[in-house]
Amino acid sequence: MPSSPPAVAHRTAVRRQHGGSGPGAADLAAIAVGGGLGGVARYLLSTAFPAGHGFPWAIFAVNASGCFCLGLLMIYLLEVWPPRRFLRPFLAVGLIGGYTTFSTYAGGVMTLLTGRAPALADAYALTSVAAGLVAVWLGLKAGRTAAGLTRGSGGGR
């Protein structure tokens, strides 16, 4: 079994040092601030590009771009940058979690279905999932390329 990369070993030691198995108040505050900022960004985009009765392009773009950013960010948070206690809760859970939205996506599918557009609802539901998966993969690839990592470095992920 290969040994853990130094960043992962350090992260584990820091986690033990803080004694934490769960988030503290400061972690929750970082998530809340990030979530508020991400939610505001999503709201502004969805009001700038309302769906109307057609394909909900704004939320589709928000979710796909959020998936890309999460893939990119995970490379930096887990393999490139030294561990920072509040960065992952703030950026990954808060900011990107608040920016992306499953509930608005599901609501968009239901709106299309109840608006008698089942083909468009199916297309939105399926392409959103596919685009999210492709976007995460592209984000991971872009992160590795930008950071100069090869497939075998960083713990073999």
Position 52 scores a pLDDT of 72
Q: Give the residue carrying structure tokens 């599901």.
A: 106
Position 23 scores a pLDDT of 82
Position 110 scores a pLDDT of 95
What's the distance, CA 5 to chain centroid?
A: 23
Structure tokens at 129: 């999932």
Q: Kindly list the distances between the CA atom of residue 124 and the CA atoms of 64, 97, 138, 146, in Å, as whole numbers in the listed order.
A: 12, 20, 20, 31
Position 39 scores a pLDDT of 96
Position 87 scores a pLDDT of 95
Structure tokens at 146: 């930008």
Closest to 109 measured CA to CA, from 99, 117, 101: 117
For each successive 10 residues of the chain (157 residues), what is the average pLDDT? 54 55 89 97 91 86 96 95 93 96 93 93 97 98 93 51
Position 13 scores a pLDDT of 54
pTM of the model: 0.79
Position 22 scores a pLDDT of 79
